Amino acid sequence: MATRWKRRPEGSTWGDFGEDDQLGRLNLLTSEKVKAGIAEVKEGLSFCLSMPLDFPGGAVLNPRRHPPRVSPTLQDGCPCLNFPLARLDARNTDVLSDDQVTLALQYSTQWDSFAHVGAFFDVEDNGVRQKVYYNGYRANEHVVGPRDYRPEGDVDVDGPYGAHALGVANMARKAIQGRAVMIDLKKHFGLERHYVGYDNLMRVLDRDRIEVTPGDMLLFRTGFTEVLVGMNRNPDGDVLARTAAVLDGRDDALLQWISDSQVAALCADNYAVEGLPALERTLGQRPALPLHQHCLFKLGVPLAELWWLAELAEWMQAHDRHACLLTAPPLYLPGAVGSPVTPVATV
Ligand code: UVW
């Protein structure tokens, strides 16, 4: 039995990859799986699957996340863009530019690590629900923020702050490479908002003769970022809320398929992968982000959002292809929960 928990969530993979595992289903990106991805490379053509990181523009999709601010570093108080090094030593002939960025790590094309969404859960099996993440990693111990939110009153917490476990650094070390499969929801559902559940998804896989194998990463093309990019950094939130397909995170059959299919990661060109707000089906307590909770908290399946899939999807359609080699490591940034990414698909 794992030392970090006495009880694991029903249907979770906690402990299956080891009691200290922080990679979840990314463990299925084995050397065999990398070779399966490489076997999909027939043309030697590469596609960049990132938007420019200053898209979407504004803070309409998520009011916590603002556009990146790039600025020069300072050299003795002077902005270091086109800085003549002769200022430091008259013999120097160099001109130096050097910069920095303030960036909401999940602002644009991004990965969510398992530290992004946890849950209140009775891991000790003692009737007390505590804040935990995938594989029983604890809030305030492994994922540490400045404040512990408690019903009886918030308490300040000492740093260092950040994801000391489960963050994107683990994913970067893993390097994230393998076989990926394109599922083109835009082709079947158009650009209207549509909650895609198990039945819809199975019909798409069947019609497009798509084979999903354990350890595959899925690329869901919905057309969302195509509409978003067309708004040229001035996004219309009302239009976007009605745009493109989203997964129905409260469809139990869909969640069960994600469990059973053993996919390694879900990557989408929309915001959140799942529809938010999620469709209401029950009364009482439930996760607001059900697909996030199922994937990040229970299974250890990372989610990726706001990818740019248009050109790859069009190329695949034109060439009757569905699979590619995907290479998509996040930043190797210790402590970070999320990360921008420049994914590369090779066909
Ligand atoms: C949320 O907080 C909803 O985050 P994201 O959808 O980007 O994972």
Mean confidence (pLDDT) of the chain: 97
Residues listed for the chain? 347
* CA of residue 303 to ligand 1 center, whole Å: 9
| Closest-lying ligand 1 atom to the alpha carbon of residue 110 | 7
Question: 60, 116, 270: which to mutate for ligand 1, most atoms within 8 A of CB?
Answer: 116
**pLDDT tens column, 157-215:** 999 999 999 999 999 999 999 999 999 999 999 999 999 999 999 999 999 999 999 99
* CA of residue 71 to ligand 1 center, whole Å: 27
Nearest CA residue ID for atom 8, ligand 1? 272
* CA of residue 73 to ligand 1 center, whole Å: 30
Q: What is the CA radius of gyration of the chain?
A: 21
33: which 2 tokens?
């799986």
**pLDDT tens column, 19-75:** 999 999 999 999 999 999 999 999 999 999 999 999 999 999 999 999 999 999 999
With a Cβ cut-off of 6 Å, ligand 1 is lined by 106, 112, 116, 272, 289, 305
Q: CB-based burial of residue 76 (10 Å sphere; 0-12 exposed, 13-18 middle, 19+ buried)?
A: exposed
Question: 62, 224, 266: which to mutate for ligand 1, most atoms within 8 A of CB?
Answer: 62
Fold of 25-59+107-116+165-346: Glucose Oxidase; domain 1 (3.50.30)
Rounded to two decimals, what is the model's pTM?
0.97
Helix ranges, the chain (H): 31-38, 168-174, 185-189, 198-207, 224-230, 237-241, 252-261, 290-292, 310-318
* CA of residue 272 to ligand 1 center, whole Å: 5
Q: CB-based burial of residue 217 (10 Å sphere; 0-12 exposed, 13-18 middle, 19+ buried)?
A: buried
Per-residue pLDDT at 51 = 98
- Do 309 and 287 touch, CB atoms closer than 8 A? no
- Sketch the domain layout of the chain as residue ranges: 25-59+107-116+165-346
